[in-house]
Amino acid sequence: MLLALRKRADIANPLLFFVTVLALLPLGVGPEPDLLAKMAPGMIWVMALLATMLSQESLFRGDFEDGTLEQLALLPQPLYFAVLAKSLVHWIATGLPLALLSPLLALMLNLPTEGYFCLFVSLFLGTASLSLIGAIGAALTVALRRPGLLLALIVMPLYVPVLIFGTGAVQAAIDGYAYSAQLAILAALLAAAAALAPLAAAGAIRISLDN
């Protein structure tokens, strides 16, 4: 957390991207309330996904460049816990603020009030999964000088289930249907990501260090 706070630009950039793009949306598609309300769930979720991915590149970059990552790999403790801690901090610095800002942006996009709570909960669970999944791509590309496009190609297919069930939950809440099943699936995806993603990322880090 101290390292994250020292690089405040890495925290601010995804949030500014998230807010700015959604603020410009009414200018691009028109100010019609019904159109904005229809697009709001998908647009908020897509922008949250892109904002999370925007900050993934630097997840292990600083530790790799100064040799800290190699020292962590040599410790007797499993690298799993270091990756899990880094992913947790990434979510606290990026995903959690996005979830907290989402009701305000939903109001700006004329999202029906029935969807506010579900939007927050789905982003709360979903962005945590995105941080964990993104750690795999960040670990695989940490040794590359410009990993941006490759990182996106690696993690984007893995992000799709989270995006589908996240937007589906919000849309179900707006339409007046039960959305607990979608939230339960998001929670299950988060549990699976917390168990498996750090293992995969730790293995990818070791491969990157060996190369």
Query: 100-137, pLDDT tens digit by residue?
Result: 988 888 888 888 888 899 999 999 999 999 999 999 98
Overall number of domains in the chain? 1
Res 1 pLDDT > 80? no
Enter the tokens of residue 96: 């959690």
Contact 172, 179 (CB under 8 A): yes
pLDDT digits (tens, 9 = 90+) for 46-101: 988 988 888 887 788 777 777 888 888 888 888 889 899 999 998 998 889 999 98
Res 38 pLDDT > 90? no
- Across residues 14-31, what is the average pLDDT? 80
DSSP 43-70: HHHHHHHHHHHHTGGGTTHHHHHTTHHH
Label residue 73 exposed, middle or buried (CB < 10 Å: 0-12, 13-18, 19+). Answer: middle
What is the 8-class DSSP label of residue 7?
-
Give the range of the structural domain holding residue 64, as residue numbers without chain letter.
2-210
Enter the tokens of residue 162: 């989270």
- Across residues 130-148, what is the average pLDDT? 84
Contact 14, 99 (CB under 8 A): no
Mean pLDDT of the chain: 86
Enter the tokens of residue 53: 């991915």
Among 128, 130, 111, which residue's Cα sits nearest to residue 173? 111
pLDDT digits (tens, 9 = 90+) for 169-188: 999 999 889 999 999 999 99
Whole-prediction pTM: 0.87
User: How far apart are alpha carbons 209 and 211 in whole angstroms?
Assistant: 5
Cα atoms in the 13 Å half-sphere on the side-chain side of 104: 9
- Across residues 33-38, what is the average pLDDT? 82
Enter the tokens of residue 182: 């979608």
Contact 107, 173 (CB under 8 A): no
Enter the tokens of residue 168: 């589906």
